Amino acid sequence: MNPALLLFTISFLMFALSLNLVYRALTDPTTGRVLERLGEGQPQLLEKAQGVAWLDRAFLQAGLGRPSERLGLWLSLWAAAVIVAGLIGGWVFLLALLVLPPVLLKLFVSWRYHRRVRRMVEQLPLLLDHCVRSLKAGRTLADAVLTAIEASSDPLKSSISRVSRNVQMGVSLPEAVNDFAELYERDEFRMFALGLKVNHRYGGNASELLENLIVLIREREQGARKLRAMTGETRMTALVLGSLPVFVVGFFMVTNPSYMLKMWQDGGGQQMLLTAMAMQIIGSVALWRMVRSV
């Protein structure tokens, strides 16, 4: 690597780190932590979050913590990597490092969220069943729910523990559960929150309500499994069609790498490859939307 380029990269990183240190020194971390803890005890607004708040919400849904605490550092490293890639490899590498990291991060966070929330929904009937047994043993509804939360297992326990924190901060149980349901945006959690709200306002047999909710959640899960089994052929076809061009390019790169390199060095071949890449992305998105609509 060129010594001047290396020196520029190191200087840029040191400048970014110094700006990050100055920003952290100007803000009061103690006050920020206290305000954050107080904010955890309040139900969140149902409106869609914007900017950094949306990023924190997405990471919190996936169980990855809050990235805003080190957002400046990560953005500085990403900007440095983009600049170095542009100086070394040209505009193609610059564009790749500018687009690929956010896209891959979005896909990873979405995959982590869907896997985590699916496991939470599978554990929800066990939590409701524990609530029913506690109610029949003579506990109140709030005590039954809080006891069931403590007896549950991860990932549901670590996620729904915000309900216990909110209740300890003075929030009513239906509002705390509704805040949890709106955070993870699943109908099963919303039905749980709605059932608690109806029981809190109008009364009734809480154990019977929770038992009906258990049956409903298990029937929905069974129906979703049948649907996945019926659409397995369609999803596999979309996977093969989407991955086939990638495997073909990989085969050419392994068996005859000079073919692709010469094609990339030619102006017309470069346009063909970029067009093929754009068509591959559009086709993959179209196949994904078609499979999601089944």
- The domain spanning residue 203 has which CATH number? 1.20.81
266 and 189 fall within a common domain? no
Boundary-marking domain end, from 221, 244, 278 = 221
At 162 the pLDDT is 87
102 inside domain: no
2 inside domain: no
80 inside domain: no
Burial 121-134 (b: 16+ CB within 10 A, else e): bebbbebbebbbeb
Which residues are within 8 A (CB) of 172 and not within 5 positions of it... i.e. 6 or more apart? 200
Which residues are within 8 A (CB) of 211 and not within 5 positions of it... i.e. 6 or more apart? 128, 132
Range of the domain at 266: 229-291
Domains identified in the chain, total number: 2
At 40 the pLDDT is 47
Which among 57, 54, 76 has a CA at the least distance from the CA of 65? 57
At 61 the pLDDT is 80
192 and 211 fall within a common domain? yes
Boundary-marking domain end, from 172, 203, 221 = 221
Which residues of the chain fall below pLDDT 50?
Answer: 1, 22, 25-26, 28-32, 34-35, 37-49
Boundary-marking domain end, from 190, 221, 252 = 221
280 and 192 fall within a common domain? no
Q: Is the peptide bond before 67 cis (omega within 30 degrees of 0)?
A: no
165 and 239 fall within a common domain? no
155 and 246 fall within a common domain? no
